[in-house]
Chain A
């Protein structure tokens, strides 16, 4: 990759001259760091990369990346990014969004990006709260959440974002966590390699309005017991000694296996055609089971923009027509 045209990239090359203005201690800083690390590792060229965001704390992201960036309007980033990618498939197009932006006001664009398999890499910072508007419950907040707009606890049931994306036909679905820098960087690299829509849900701590949302499984002392690393071709094992596993019954209901039953642990296949195991993991109770991170699903499927531009290419080769030809169509007549 090293040449005059494609110089080796370093993390600092992606930094802009703008001061980063997230709250001190915000999980967004470590995500920015991981993205810059992944981009440097992948040798992404500044001018070939476009980052499009919606509205919210996370959507300030483009201002901090020395690439092309477009900070758009609430929820619409996938729609704008679709226009960018569909009209110029050579661009490397990333969407940065939050759980309010993507799951609530932009839910429609999110599911349709998944359905079409547009070549977008969508990073959704999920802090399970509205941060920029100062702390209302989000569509990913747990039921009963007490916030400024739900003093008696929210009545809403939350989305399971990976399950939503899976139902919408997503072809690459992964999850990582802000504080797991190496895992996050690796996950971003995997998303980048995918053809079609890649969706990465990133658990991100909002230390102002929802501090400790993920503490129950991310704190160092509980992490090994509470986090399940999905590894392609490996059994679903967790615990410091990998002495516990996840198995499924005939209805794809998960249960924990230990001891002699450990061999029953399900062998993870991220490329499986059936969405059932991924759906089971995406919807299993956070209280009863460990929280899965890694790649839930990775399926090869032609990308939307390839099909769209492919039709144009074929049509151009099959039919040559000038504007004059076009105007002269139908029944024409001359007046002398």
Chain B
């Protein structure tokens, strides 16, 4: 064993090499499944594997213990090759109680490993999970390798001398499971040891207990005969550079901060707590030392309005939200369109309509973002496609907002926000410049023209209050171009409507050609946007390996669309578009290009599985063949 170290040495059982593993931890929302998954992720990233994660948790903070709605899960996939998704079906399922078993067992791969906590399989536990019989005894587990461990008893034993009370001891049981998995998958315990020590630095007895239980789990797996084999997943070949593991909300926050810094502006986040966007507020509220001001407003409307006020005064105004909050912000975004102020709106989409399923994912706010305001109210809309891509998209949003003096809506979603992947860190010095030109002090006797325009971009000047000689009035009423005076003239209104639209259309002048995976002509083009990227890429690259003439592209810019999109689509016999909505982008493309884009829609609150897309695309390929033969 060439990569053996102090915590994985002593492995004497058989070792099998794998190129990838999908693990899902499932338990009560109080069982620490997210933390367990997070620890496994950190360690695995540090060991050089490619990794993708998918937390899936209920909206209730603590749903009644042991019930089906209270089940929280964390899926991760790690590999020795480049991966695009957290995987479809798990190879290993860890369940802490019958409810978790009931919800997740159906997903476990045939032949997969089921690690079961037997401590919570009493009659009451089974009843809460709506099991009539104990599934351990009725043959339900046929086809799976089942490992039963009484995690609570083993944990209590490991903590016999701990000063913690029994309840606190029980809470460490997830660490026993983690220890077992660390042994099974040949993981290094050091990063977790360090991280737990740091995380609970003020509570040494908690640190000791957690680590003791994890080590006990590791030793248990090593010594008992239940575990025959350990597995090894060698590191993945990755581009050279410095990496960190990043979640989408984190990356998005860093992207806007880096851009604000590059632009030399004070950043002002006006926001209101909402799932799954709140972490953006949490993170940015810790960046005061970087000049980031965060304002937790009284409601979603005040949140966006305060950001507009900040932009008006010469700061970089940002607001973050999710679907229901977007609905509330609509009128104010229209004001920013009319006042032609820079504004960045971060919409971490969730399953709607209405309150919907706050912790589940969806991409159904696209039409709302592009069109969801009164009047002709064009804004720029861009979308993040992976957790780390959210950094670049946040940065791009700020660049566009400042260059064109326009609101930019960034679409992320719950899957990106809480999912994670290794991120090749960019060199901040090499990020694109974001020049900001405030209108200079006015000369005496000269009247400032707030709607005079840059002939190339059509952006109006940004006049910071406090600057001499630039006093002017703006507002939501239609105004005369150049002077900004209120104006009801028919020709002027038509001109202003056209100008605001043209200004947004001009953004397309900046866009590079669409990046495709595969040639720019062929049988099938799979288009996607946002978080479907991973599942689409995985399916398309597989079909390409089988020799099919299929390519794919993930669109970052959704309004305006890239100029080469029409030509790209016309290079294929068929264009298909998987979306986690009822076909919103597909409708837009059909409308704009008169191309019969086939929509593949799924709106169940879950991300696409790549095998589902694969099946659909296989059918599409054969359909496109038939069309040719006819």
Contacts and interface: CB of A to CB of B under 8 A. Distances in A.
B466 A90 contact: yes
Interface in B452-503: 465-477, 485-486
A108 B289 contact: no
Interface string A62-79: 110011111111001001
Interface string A320-336: 11111011111111111
Interface stretch (B89-97, B293-301, B607-615): B293-301
B195 to A, nearest CB: 8
A318 interface: yes
B243 A332 contact: yes
A18 B297 CA distance: 35
Given A311-B288, A316-B291, A320-B289, A70 B312 contact: yes
Nearest to B470: A47
B266 interface: yes
Interface in B290-332: 290-293, 295, 297-299, 301-302, 305-315, 317, 331-332
Contact of B471 (A46, A80, A309, A334): A46
A85 B305 CA distance: 12
Interface stretch (B41-49, B167-175, B523-531, B540-548): B41-49
17 contacts: A18-B485, A50-B313, A55-B476, A72-B308, A73-B331, A73-B332, A73-B476, A79-B306, A86-B295, A312-B291, A315-B289, A323-B261, A324-B429, A326-B258, A329-B244, A330-B244, A331-B42
Interface string A44-69: 00111010100100000011001111
B342 interface: no
A69 B428 contact: no
A108 B299 contact: yes
Nearest to A320: B289
B554 interface: no
Interface residues of B, number: 72
B241 interface: yes
Given A323-B261, A332-B242, A333-B45, A112 B302 contact: yes
A319 interface: yes
A83 interface: yes
A86 B306 contact: yes
A319 B486 CA distance: 47
B293 A80 contact: no
Contact of A84 (B309, B472, B486): B309
A83 B241 contact: no
B313 A335 contact: no
Given A91-B465, A108-B298, A332-B244, A327 B312 contact: no
B473 A70 contact: yes
B100 interface: no
A150 interface: no
Contacts of B313: 50, 83-84, 87-88, 91
Nearest to A86: B295
A308 interface: yes
B383 interface: no
A328 B472 CA distance: 44
A219 to B, nearest CB: 36
Contacts of A322: 428
Given A76-B305, A83-B270, A323 B310 contact: no
B475 A71 contact: yes
A328 B298 contact: no
A81 interface: yes
B281 to A, nearest CB: 14
B245 A331 contact: yes
A329 B198 CA distance: 14
A82 interface: yes
B466 A83 contact: no
A82 B309 contact: yes
Contacts of A69: 471-475
Interface string B339-359: 100000000000000000000
A11 interface: no
Given A84-B465, A87-B313, A88-B313, A79 B291 contact: no
Interface of A: 16, 18, 46-48, 50, 52, 55, 62-63, 66-73, 76, 79-88, 90-91, 108-109, 112, 308-309, 311-312, 315-316, 318-324, 326-336
A24 to B, nearest CB: 19
Contacts of A73: 305, 331-332, 334-335, 476
Interface centre among A46, A50, A80, A108 (most CB of B within 10 A): A80
B268 interface: yes
B426 interface: yes
Given A63-B473, A70-B473, A327-B426, 19 more contacts: A47-B470, A69-B473, A70-B312, A72-B308, A72-B335, A73-B305, A73-B335, A82-B306, A83-B312, A86-B306, A87-B314, A88-B314, A109-B302, A312-B293, A316-B288, A316-B289, A331-B195, A331-B244, A335-B238
A16 B288 CA distance: 39
A203 B529 CA distance: 55
A332 B254 CA distance: 16
B373 to A, nearest CB: 12
B428 A327 contact: yes
Contacts of B195: 331
A28 B306 CA distance: 27
B423 to A, nearest CB: 9
A321 B240 CA distance: 25
A15 B299 CA distance: 36
A86 B307 CA distance: 10
A328 B244 contact: yes
Interface string B412-438: 000000000000011111000000000
B571 interface: no
A309 B313 CA distance: 15
Contact of A321 (B289, B301, B335): B289
B315 A87 contact: yes
Contacts of A320: 289
Contact of B309 (A16, A47, A81, A324): A81
B465 A88 contact: yes
A335 B315 contact: no
